[in-house]
Amino acid sequence: MTRLYDSRKRILVTGGAGFLGSHLIDRLLEQGHEVLCADNLFTGTKRNIDHLHNHPRFEFLRHDVTFPLYVEVDEIYNLACPASPIHYQHDPVQTTKTSVHGAINMLGLAKRLRCKVFQASTSEVYGDPHVHPQPETYWGNVNPVGLRSCYDEGKRCAETLFFDYHRQHGLQIKVARIFNTYGPRMHHADGRVVSNFVVQALRGAPITIYGEGRQTRSFCYVDDLVEGFIRLMESDDNVTGPVNLGNPGEFTIRELAEQVIAQTGSRSELVFGELPQDDPKQRRPDIGQAKAKLGWEPQVPLEEGLARTITYFRDLLPELEVA
């Protein structure tokens, strides 16, 4: 899958110490680029980038994207933002600021440098969708004043800013709408469903299903997603997005729980709790555009991706129990 760029670039990745950012950085370094990672370590961790500590083409900058950043780079991937509901709801005002002020700062930087800028948007822009699966043309069903709004509306406003900078200043933008992605380096305690279920199963703790577990999600393995990021960044100038990136395989949350139990061999029981406010009932990407414009579609089936994720958490858990 790895392809080399024509020439080495210096690339800024905001949120690079997080789950997706750290995998993206690995790929960019593998391709021979220099990477500057800017992260305030709110939900990211140095553990995710520890292996790059002495890498000659890697640099880490502790920085909050709500403040301006003056650096010289050739491309920007803007990923900085807490992504799991418990993290983005922890300080909702800061979440909106991160999306909106972070976008303004990164767009301003890209405008000065005349460089391409990528935005990690989200399937949450579709809210609790009335159209299924979700194509990019669907405008969504988002509550503007609920508990998820800081994230959903922040990301929607960031998209608006990206398209206005594109129209008004001719900036080259690449907007990806990311659907639920999982894999090694997810934060073990960020409350997202895959990490929660895997950790609970490995600990023999009850598997916490919210509601009756009939809501659906489509789970994309991280390596597939990163390939999509890079293809989008490298795509023709006229491709701006928004482009859905996700795996169209759709599962109920109960099916996911059963799959995790089967693959871990766990004896955990299923327990059913309350469904969080505005929890989307179904979600599946229409990836027609990604296929047509990027020649991209996911390769890793859920069973295989889960096996790799389980191995990661199996190795990590003893360290966490000691810490």
Q: Which residues are catalytic?
A: 151
d(CA 65, CA 98): 6
Footprint of ligand UDP (CB under 6 A): 84-85, 180, 191-193, 196, 208-210, 215, 217, 253, 276, 279
Distance of alpha carbon 132 from alpha carbon 138, whole angstroms: 9
Interface ranges with ligand NAD (CB under 6 A): 14-15, 17-21, 39-44, 64-66, 79-83, 98, 102, 120, 122, 178, 180-181, 187
Least distance in angstroms from the C-beta of 285 to ligand NAD: 11
Question: Between 33 and 82, whose beta carbon lies closer to ligand UDP?
Answer: 82
Euclidean distance between CA atoms 173 and 23, whole angstroms: 21
Rg (CA), the chain: 19
Query: What does 28 interact with, of ligand UDP, ligand NAD, none (CB < 5 to 8 A by kind)?
Result: none
289 binds, among ligand NAD, ligand UDP, none (CB under 5 to 8 A by kind): none
The distance of closest approach from Cβ of residue 91 to ligand UDP in the complex, given in angstroms and rounded to an integer, is 17
CB 12 within 8 A of CB 36: yes
Binding partner of residue 247 among ligand UDP, ligand NAD, none, CB cut-off 5 to 8 Å per kind: none
Pair 282, 223: CB distance under 8 Å: no
Single-letter amino acid code for the residue at 3: R
Nearest approach, Cβ of residue 38 and ligand NAD (Å):
6
In terms of CB distance, is 42 or 162 closer to ligand NAD?
Answer: 42
In the bound state with ligand UDP, the residue whose beta carbon lies nearer, of 74 and 279, is 279
Mind giving me the DSSP string for 127-162?
Answer: BS-SSSSBPTT---B--TTSTTHHHHHHHHHHHHHH
Q: Which is nearer to ligand NAD, 86 or 317 (CB)?
A: 86
Query: Which among ligand NAD, ligand UDP, none contacts residue 122 (Cβ within 5 to 8 A by kind)?
Result: ligand NAD
Whole-number minimum distance, CB 192 to ligand NAD, in Å? 7
Angle between helices 253-264 and 302-322 (to 10 degrees): 70
| Closer residue to ligand UDP (CB): 84 or 240 | 84
| Phi and psi angles of residue 289, each rounded to the nearest 5 degrees, phi first | -70, -45
Total number of residues shown for the chain: 323
Report the alpha-carbon distance of residue 44 to residue 124 in Å, rounded.
Answer: 21
DSSP secondary-structure letter at 47? G
Nearer to ligand UDP, 141 or 167 (CB): 141
**Binding partner selected for residue 210 from ligand UDP, ligand NAD, none, CB under the kind-specific 5 to 8 Å limit:** ligand UDP
Residues near 305 by Cβ (< 8 Å), separated by ≥ 6? 182, 183, 219, 221, 222
Q: Which of 151, 144, 163, 160 is nearest to 192 (CA)?
A: 151
Closest approach of ligand UDP to the CB of residue 134, in Å: 12
* Spatial contact of 293 and 235, defined as CB atoms under 8 Å apart: yes
H helix or E strand, kind and range, residue 177: strand 173-178
Q: What residue 217 binds from ligand NAD, ligand UDP, none (CB within 5 to 8 A, per partner kind)?
A: ligand UDP
